[in-house]
Amino acid sequence: MPDIDYYKDLKDKFSEEKRPEITQLGYNMACGLSKLEGKIHLAVRLQPLHGSQDPIDEDLLARIKNEILTDNYHGVPLDIRYIGTIRAR
């Protein structure tokens, strides 16, 4: 299993590569590392940029998941979630 620095570098490359396309669609993408079922994943969270639809259109979310981000990046699974706008209470 690669060390954590490998995954951090991969996360940074993924963000650099994918964030501009997601931003063009009107959404922000944050990416981190998570461990699910004993395996490292790239945890991708999507939020609307100011003026973008919230919640996201289901067809657009499906397109993002299936065509832009897919289900893995260089063999590392993606955990993609739309979290919407975070508001203070």
What does pLDDT average to over the chain?
Answer: 95
Give the pLDDT of residue 78: 97
Structure tokens at 22: 């997601």
Q: Which amino acid type is present at position 5? A: D
Cα–Cα distance measured from residue 28 to residue 45, given in angstroms and rounded to the nearest whole number: 8
CA angle, residues 38, 8, 1, in degrees to nearest 5: 40
pLDDT tens digit string along 8-52?
999 999 999 999 999 999 999 999 999 988 999 999 999 999 999
Give the pLDDT of residue 87: 81
The yes-or-no verdict on residue 58 having pLDDT over 80 is yes
Count of residues making up the chain: 89
Nearest to 44 by CA among 26, 62, 28, 23: 28
Q: Which amino acid type is present at position 2? A: P
Give the pLDDT of residue 88: 81
Give the pLDDT of residue 66: 96
